[in-house]
Amino acid sequence: MKFFLDTANVEEIKRINDLGLVDGITTNPTLISKEGKDFETVIKEICSIVDGPVSAEVIALDYEGMVEEARQVAKWADNIVVKIPMTEAGLKAVNTLSQEGIKTNVTLIFSVAQGLLAAKAGATYISPFIGRIDDMGEDGMELIADLRMVLDNYALDAEIIAASIRHIGHFEATALAGADIATVPGSLFPKLWSHPLTDKGIDGFLKDWEAFQNKQNK
């Protein structure tokens, strides 16, 4: 499974990228707006740090507007993926952009039907939002497993990005359900490598070592 970071924060990206664990980045207008810099500046800065795909979302909702914006954004760097919302106009835009060789990530997927349509339209990535499905009292992970089966059954190339991951349980279940990619919020990522028993174990080993040293030095 590939790990993407779901953030536009350059410090978070640098910290985790230095561990060699970042395969790509996803952003959205909410994440960009938190950074207080303009869209193009933030995306270009991220693209200069990370080699893998960087998703940048269009703001237009009409077909012409989306395609025009996508063509501009795609010129900012070689590793740009244009994020397109899952609507009728969005599917049409994905169809056009895929024929032009522009990579797309269809976002806000909440059903198998939406995922299948996006993949058939030529999306490079599809992004089911598991946390938001769970918020509705349904099971987001079931959607990941179902989409995995459908894409495999029909040999569709789109990769599944499990998005709206809120906790470690989501991250682990995503791997078990067969998503190609988990996009993890920058604030959640450090929690993936920590465990209280690891900290307790390190503490215990060091205390025993110190006691041994003190005994030897007597």
Q: What's the closest the beta carbon of residue 186 comes to ligand G3P, in angstroms? A: 11
State how far the Cα of 25 lies from the Cα of 109, in Å rounded to an integer. Answer: 18
Which of 3, 129, 171, 189 touches ligand G3P (CB under 6 A)? 129
Task: Give the C-alpha distances (Å, rounded to integers) separating 11 from 25, 55, 208.
Answer: 13, 18, 37
Residue 189 interacting with ligand G3P (CB under 6 A): no
- Residue 184 phi, psi (nearest 5): -110, 130
Determine which residue in the list 29, 52, 131, 178 makes contact with ligand G3P, applying CB under 6 A.
131
Query: In whole angstroms, how close is the CB of 24 to ligand G3P at the nearest point?
Result: 12
216 contacts: CB under 8 Å, gap ≥ 6: none
Q: Which x/- pattern over 165-184 shows residues binding ligand G3P (rule: CB under 6 A)?
A: -x----------------x-
Exposed, middle or buried: residue 192 (CB in 10 Å: 0-12, 13-18, 19+)? middle
- The CB-of-210 to ligand G3P minimum distance in angstroms stands at 43
Look at residue 63 and give its three-state secondary structure: helix
> Is 114 a residue that touches ligand G3P (CB under 6 A)?
no
Catalytic residue list contains 200: no
Give 215's Cβ-side CA count (13 Å radius).
Answer: 6
Q: If you ran DSSP here, which 8-state letter would residue 206 be given?
A: H
Tell me the window of 64-72, 110-118, 163-171, 192-200 that interacts with ligand G3P (CB under 6 A).
163-171
Name the residues that contact ligand G3P, by CB under 6 A: 6, 26, 28, 129, 131-132, 163-164, 166, 183
